Amino acid sequence: MKSLIETLTQIPGPPGYENKIRAVVRAEIESHADEIRVDALGNLIARKGSKAGNGKRIMLSAHMDEIGVIATHIDENGFVRFTNVGGVFPRYAPSGRVRFLDGTIGVIGTEKITNSYKVPPLDKMFIDVGANGRTNCPIKVGDVAVFERPLTEMGGRLVSKAMDDRISVAILIEALKKLKKTPHEIYFVFSVQEEVGVRGATTAAFGVDPELGLAIDVTRTGDTPKSITMEVALGAGPAIKVKDSGMITDPRVVDWMVRIAAKAKIPYQLEVLERGGTDARAIQLTRSGVPAGCLSIPCRYVHSPSEMVDYNDVQNALKLLLALLNDTGVFQMS
pLDDT tens-digit profile of 78-118?
999 999 999 999 999 999 999 999 999 999 999 998 888 88
Confirm whether pTM is higher than 0.85.
Answer: yes
Spatial strand order of the sheet with 307-310 comes to: 152-154, 157-160, 307-310
Non-local CB neighbours of 3 within 8 Å, separated by 6+ positions? none
Residues 239 and 288 in one domain: yes
Residues 42 and 76 in one domain: no
CA distance 190 to 81: 31
Question: Is 194 a known active-site residue?
Answer: yes
Q: How confident is the model at residue 189 (pLDDT cuts 50, 70, 90)?
A: very high
- Mean pLDDT, the chain, as a whole number? 95
Residues 311 and 184 in one domain: yes
- Rounded to 10 degrees, what is the CA torsion of 206, 47, 201, 11? -150
> What is the SS3 assignment for 251?
helix
Instruction: Give which of 266, 243, 265 is closest to 254, Cα–Cα.
Output: 243
Domain count, the chain: 2
Q: Is residue 283 part of a domain?
A: yes
β-pairing, 97-100 vs 80-85, is unpaired
Q: How far is CA 181 from CA 48, 137, 175, 177, 239, in A?
A: 9, 54, 12, 11, 25
pLDDT tens-digit profile of 204-259?
999 999 999 999 999 999 999 999 999 999 999 999 999 999 999 999 999 999 99
- The domain of 99 spans 68-147
The single-letter code of the amino acid at 89 is F
Q: How confident is the model at residue 6 (pLDDT cuts 50, 70, 90)?
A: very high
What percent of the chain is modeled with pLDDT above 70? 99
Residues 167 and 308 in one domain: yes
Model confidence at 334: pLDDT above 60: no
Which one of the listed residues 18, 66, 185, 194 is annotated catalytic?
Answer: 194
Residues 91 and 137 in one domain: yes
Residues 142 and 187 in one domain: no
CATH number (domain holding residue 293): 3.40.630.10
Q: Is residue 125 part of a domain?
A: yes
The per-residue pLDDT for 331 is 66
pLDDT tens-digit profile of 265-295?
999 999 999 999 999 999 999 999 999 999 9
Residues 285 and 314 in one domain: yes
